[in-house]
Copies of this chain bind each other. A is one copy, B any other.
Amino acid sequence: MPNTNTDTCVSFVYEVSCFDLLTDSEKEMIDKTSVLVNYKKGETICKQGSFASHIMYIEKGLVKVYLEGSIKNLILTITPKHNLLGLQALYEGNNTFLYSISTYTESSVRLIDVQVFKKLLRQNPAFGFRVINILNESTAQSYGRFLSLTQKQLHGRLADILLCLSRRIFKSDAFDLPLSRSDLSDLTSMSTESVIRIMKDFKDDGIIEINNKSVALLDIPRLTRISEKG
Q: Which A residues have a C-beta under 8 Å from some C-beta of B?
A: 2-4, 6, 13-14, 48-49, 67-72, 74, 76, 87-88, 90-94, 96, 98-100, 118, 121-126, 128-129, 131-133, 135-140, 142-143, 146-147, 149-151, 189, 230
- B-side contacts of A48, CB under 8 Å: 2-3
Nearest 10 CB-CB pairs, A to B?
A3-B49, A2-B68, A91-B136, A128-B128, A150-B189, A135-B135, A122-B125, A125-B125, A69-B151, A4-B70
Q: Which residue of B lies closest to A129 (CB)?
A: B121
- B-side contacts of A98, CB under 8 Å: 6, 139-140, 143
Q: List 15 additional A-B contacts (Cβ < 8 Å) besides A72-B151, A74-B146.
A: A2-B68, A4-B68, A69-B147, A88-B136, A90-B136, A91-B140, A92-B133, A98-B139, A118-B129, A123-B125, A132-B132, A132-B135, A139-B139, A150-B150, A151-B189
Instruction: Determine the distance from Cα of A76 to Cα of B140 in the docked complex, in whole angstroms.
Output: 12
A67 interface neighbour in B6, B49, B69, B74, Cβ under 8 Å: B6
Instruction: Determine the distance from Cα of A136 to Cα of B87 in the docked complex, in whole angstroms.
Output: 8
A143 interface neighbour in B4, B76, B90, Cβ under 8 Å: B76
A70 interface neighbour in B122, B129, B149, B230, Cβ under 8 Å: B230
Instruction: Determine the distance from Cα of A93 to Cα of B150 in the docked complex, in whole angstroms.
Output: 25
* Interchain CB contact under 8 A, A74 and B150: yes
Instruction: Determine the distance from Cα of A81 to Cα of B19 in the docked complex, in whole angstroms.
Output: 36
Q: Which residue of B lies closest to A4 (CB)?
A: B70
User: Known: A121-B128, A146-B67. Contact between A133 and B3, CB under 8 A?
Assistant: no
* Interchain CB contact under 8 A, A99 and B49: no
Instruction: Determine the distance from Cα of A94 to Cα of B137 in the docked complex, in whole angstroms.
Output: 9
Q: Which residue of B lies closest to A92 (CB)?
A: B133
- B-side contacts of A189, CB under 8 Å: 150-151
